[in-house]
A = this chain, B = another copy of it.
């Protein structure tokens, strides 16, 4: 940056978000993301990532949250910047997209839809069955999914898909759904119990069989 009055003209700045959640399907929970059907050219009628233009008076994170709420009525449980896409030919006229990725607790999806009224032109898609998207959004969604799967391996990010309290089996199933592979229940238990980030509560989830202890993540580890 050399000046505050330079030649920054004619470049429009968009902010988009790839937001994941777990949604119940025929064969158990699936990792899904909401898409918005475009109502304008270019790519009119095609599915696209939720987003909008950056307002000159708002921070980037705020723009991601605002445009996500405006298009889908959803508020993310976790939000992180992903990458800025800016190839000259990615849209008919020059536009760069600052893309965020986000997680939404599964227990909040329907509550938020109910509170805001189901928005038009929004539909959830399984990450393993994505339609063709507008612009370079397929590439963007793939990259976000890669980052999510990567980060699940070395952080407690998966908690962003669950309520505050959960059983170890529920947490393991989140990992299994996101990563697309089975994990050994006993080893998973030891790994997470020994991590000092997970604390047992005195509550139990009761069901068909032996009750399972509920856990929560520590506040600020």
Contact = CB atoms under 8 A, between A and B. Distances in A.
Nearest to A42: B4
Contact of A56 (B10, B54, B55): B10
Contacts of A59: 86-88
A190 interface: no
A83 interface: yes
Contacts of A60: 84, 86-87, 96
SS class of chain A's interface: helix, strand, loop or mixed? loop
A2 B49 CA distance: 9
24 contacts: A1-B48, A1-B49, A1-B51, A1-B52, A1-B53, A1-B95, A1-B97, A2-B38, A4-B40, A4-B41, A4-B42, A4-B91, A6-B12, A7-B55, A8-B11, A8-B53, A8-B54, A8-B95, A10-B56, A11-B54, A54-B96, A59-B87, A60-B96, A81-B83
Interface of A: 1-14, 16, 38-42, 48-49, 51-60, 71, 81, 83-84, 86-88, 91-98, 134-135
